[in-house]
A and B are shown apart, each in its own frame.
Chain A
Amino acid sequence: MGYTEEELKQDLENKEYEFGFVTNVESDKVAPGLNEEVIRTISQKKNEPDWLLDFRLKAFKIWQKKAEPEWAHVDYEKPDFQSISYYSAPKQKKELKSLDEVDPEILKTMDRLGISLEEQKRLSGVAVDFVLDSVSVATSFKEKLGELGIIFCSFSEAVQEHPELVRKYLGTVVPTTDNFYAALNSAVFTDGSFCYIPKGVRCPMELSTYFRINEAGTGQFERTLVVADKESYVSYLEGCTAPQRDENQLHAAVVELIALDDAEIKYSTVQNWYPGDKEGKGGVFNFVTKRGVCHKNSKISWTQVETGSAVTWKYPSCILKGDNSIGEFYSVAVTNNLQQADTGTKMIHIGRNTSSTIISKGISSGKSQNSYRGLVKIAKSAQGARNFSQCDSLLMTDTSGAHTFPYIECENASAKIEHEATTSKIGEDQIFYCLQRGIDEEKAISLIVNGYAKEVLNKLPMEFAVEAQKLLEISLEGSIG
């Protein structure tokens, strides 16, 4: 039978955030507050070398001098950085040798998130690194990757096992001085993922990391570093969820990608942090710095599906340093209820004949605000650079907002820059056409939205595309206004 609008609304309001559960594992948590002592404690707990402690302390000093950025089109109560606990790790008795030794509660969590590592081991050929709160708890498929010389492990492990690589690349793409949150992350990051693909190797499977904030009153500050050596290829996936909590949780990650000559990195994110309830209570503040550098003839491709978080501030960017290098950014950002997103990219053209493509699809529902903010910068040296940008916004309700802030800086007259932007409202005609064919309203919205976002969804690896479509459906259920 058909849904009445009232039933729909009720259904939506009752719709629980699917990943809002809490895992009961004992955790080793540092008291809230941020000072040099806390940073030293983190570093010590992780048995880090001196150079890394220095890196942290320098970043901390820089952070103290920086102010929180206020230029984004978002409005929120600033986090109290002294009330956050900067380290929380599941207590583990000893080092883990196999999955059997992982705390069953954690395994259960993974199950509920739909990432049964066992299943994945057998079936899908996706290597997974799982980061709970701040610490990486399990990395699958390590041995098989090891045979090819691929390193895929938690960041802490990389610091212990491959300090030379970490030291060489850490902070080279996103310097500690870059911005307030990047400086904070550099000072207090506790774990994350590290990946290195050796020269000429094509990584045979998708590498995947799942991030999850579990403990109350903690922030998550993970660090991801992906290095693709010359002529190598890797596709990297990242997924995020968090329990449903009334207070806001802070997530300030830094992701650095390095594509050396002729290498290619494909980085896909499905971000589904808890968005807060319909009155805007709770939810994750997602303040993330993601950037990649492209050397000669290399390519970095960012694809993101953003459906979660109360506030998103995120601009995955490419520095096209090498000649003929390519940067791509494909994004679908959905906001509902009182969510706010300010997201986009920066494409910095430095090398000759560099090219970049930006496809951004915003979908705003409820009373949410959704902004695209992007910079295309063509340096003097970037002879023959090209950019194509397309920024589309889809409004689902009269009370939501869509904004586009494109910035173009061009210092080379040979550059070719194209920018297209559209704003449309989901059509009653389209909905009625679907209804008349027997497609109910929920399904109709999902069809129309998926069609609208198709160019971006098509860029996702298979395993993720299905998940992303499902997420879009859930995020927008009953949201037509």
Chain B
Amino acid sequence: MLEIKELRAEIAGKEILKGINLSVGAGEVHAVMGPNGSGKSTLSAVLAGRDDYEVTGGEVVYQGKDLLDMDPEERAWEGVFLAFQYPVEIPGVSNLNFLKAAINCKREHLGQEPISAKEFLGMVKEKSKLVELDSKLANRAVNEGFSGGEKKRNEIFQMAMLEPSLSLLDETDSGLDIDALRIVANGVNTLKSSNTATVVVTHYQRLLDYIVPDYVHVLFDGRIVKTGGKELALELEEKGYDWIKNEQVEV
């Protein structure tokens, strides 16, 4: 589904990604782990099309198409979803209005009729249960006055509503207590299917207790330096990132 080859990117002249190679197949869950400043968030931002970053080399093929050639909204229409590390507040715009606009923009792009009110509300009812989102939150302005946990749950709620093929979760576990973590992970697991893929970017292992990855990649200084199964995450948790750093220095 997603093929990243030698991807390089910089921000304000500083190279952050120094040749990333990653292959994600349908039905798979990949975890990208790494110390602070290794380029984890940059990777998800570049994949989502944030224009603060300049791609200086490499290619990304998503479902047979050149992802880097698409505008951010086109990527969304093609099924790429990014759960933000810091979800953005949009005062005065209700969550539901926001989602309806998102769904209808996509439908318009695909040449479909706008979603009916009935169908939409049915979906809201079903999907909000998934992340135990209070129906009051659905009617409030997008992320305005939400607690950290509510914001992250809202991200997963949006993900459920938009039914993406490729979900990128950027440090979704940060700022979550254990209950919220369980709810969020449960939402992600329920949405998983043989047609979708998930890339989980995280600093800590604990999220991976709930969202079990098929592959774990260690990102260090802009490169993936180690790939393994779920046990690699445990090893990292135990030994810390210094182990990787030292290994790198030796190389």
Residues of A within 8 A of B (CB): 1-2, 427, 429-430, 432-441, 443, 447-448, 450-455
Contacts and interface: CB of A to CB of B under 8 A. Distances in A.
Interface string B69-104: 011111111000110100111111100011101110
Nearest to B101: A439
Contacts of A437: 76, 98-99, 102, 158, 162
Interface in B189-241: none
Contact of B91 (A2, A435, A452): A452
5 contacts: A436-B72, A436-B75, A443-B105, A448-B93, A454-B93
B49 interface: yes
Contacts of B106: 438
Given A432-B50, A447-B101, A438 B88 contact: no
Contacts of A432: 50, 72, 88
A2 B93 contact: no
Majority DSSP secondary structure for residues of B touching A:
helix
Interface of B: 48-50, 70-77, 81-82, 84, 87-93, 97-99, 101-103, 105-106, 109, 141, 158, 162
Contacts of A441: 73
A404 to B, nearest CB: 19
B105 A439 contact: yes
A430 B90 contact: yes
Contacts of B98: 434, 437, 439, 447
B92 A454 contact: yes
A435 B92 contact: no
Contacts of B105: 438-440, 443
Contacts of A450: 92-93
For the complex of A and B, 9 pairs with smallest distance between CB atoms:
A451-B92, A2-B71, A438-B76, A451-B93, A454-B92, A433-B88, A435-B72, A437-B102, A438-B106
Given A438-B105, A447-B93, A433 B84 contact: yes
A62 to B, nearest CB: 45
Given A1-B74, A447-B97, A439 B92 contact: no
B73 A440 contact: yes
B98 to A, nearest CB: 7
A61 B160 CA distance: 71
A3 to B, nearest CB: 8
A450 B97 CA distance: 11
A435 B105 CA distance: 10
Given A447-B93, A450-B92, 18 more contacts: A2-B73, A430-B89, A433-B87, A436-B49, A437-B98, A437-B158, A437-B162, A438-B76, A438-B162, A441-B73, A443-B101, A447-B97, A448-B93, A450-B93, A451-B91, A452-B91, A452-B92, A453-B92
